[in-house]
């Protein structure tokens, strides 16, 4: 036990005052730490701001040169795609036109979604078309196969058996071979 001559009420008020002063000192130390941290980060902030302005200064002439050239990425992409369409639309005499193959496939697709069509001439009389897409069910996939054969787009349509294992939302890749091209 402590034996002091200070009355209990005064002792409680001294403890309370001590806790308040300790809390004030703690808040002072935290605020001092924040101020020191801010002062130490100030040069880094200034350096980053200067780097940003220098980067924008370097970028401005490049943007101006791109605007002066008159071509943007979208314009060059459109020109490339227009050239590809011209190449696909023009076919040598006596050869199958690729655009008619693509049109026939799109007409035969039904409820299936086609995401990619690749047409390749493997020999002067053979055209192999690879079709990639998504079919809602097995029946639609088999209907697409039959339409491709009946529509004279292919003599042979390869449907992997593994595709028929699923009943819904079937991702497919079909290979259509046409050997009777003129």
Model confidence pLDDT, tens digit, residues 145-178: 888 777 666 667 777 766 667 778 788 888 888 7
Sorted by where each begins, the domain ranges of the chain are 1-70, 94-178
Residue 10: predicted pLDDT:
93
pLDDT tens profile 25-62: 999 999 999 999 999 999 999 999 999 999 999 988 88
**Residue given tokens 């029946």 in the structure block:** 139
Residue 177: predicted pLDDT:
80
Whole-model pTM: value is 0.45
Contacts 24+ apart (CB under 8 A), 52-57: none
Residue 1: predicted pLDDT:
46
Separation CA 164–CA 53 (nearest Å) = 60
Residue 57: predicted pLDDT:
92
Residue 36: predicted pLDDT:
96
pLDDT tens profile 80-108: 888 887 776 665 554 555 667 777 777 77
Residue 2: predicted pLDDT:
64
- Closest Cα partner for 182 from 125, 129, 128, 119? 125
For β-strands 113-123 and 156-158, DSSP reports them as: unpaired
Residue 9: predicted pLDDT:
92
pLDDT tens profile 123-133: 777 778 888 88
* Assigned CATH topology for domain 94-178: Alpha-Beta Plaits (3.30.70)
């Amino acid at each position: 036990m402590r034996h002091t001559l200070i009355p209990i009420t005064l002792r409680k008020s001294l403890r309370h005052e001590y806790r308040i002063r300790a809390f004030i000192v703690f808040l002072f130390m935290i605020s001092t730490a924040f101020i020191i941290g801010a002062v130490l980060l100030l040069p880094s902030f200034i350096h980053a701001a200067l780097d940003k302005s220098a980067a924008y200064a370097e970028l401005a002439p490049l943007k101006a040169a791109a605007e002066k050239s008159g071509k943007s990425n979208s314009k060059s992409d459109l020109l490339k795609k227009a050239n590809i369409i011209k190449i696909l639309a023009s076919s040598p005499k006596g050869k199958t036109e690729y655009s008619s193959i693509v049109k026939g496939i799109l007409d035969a697709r039904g409820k299936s979604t086609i995401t990619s069509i690749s047409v390749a001439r493997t020999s002067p009389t053979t055209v192999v078309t690879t079709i990639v897409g998504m079919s809602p069910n097995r029946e639609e996939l088999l209907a697409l196969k039959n339409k491709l054969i009946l529509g004279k787009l292919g003599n042979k349509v390869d449907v992997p058996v593994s595709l028929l294992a699923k009943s819904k939302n079937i991702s497919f890749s079909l290979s259509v071979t046409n050997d009777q091209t003129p």
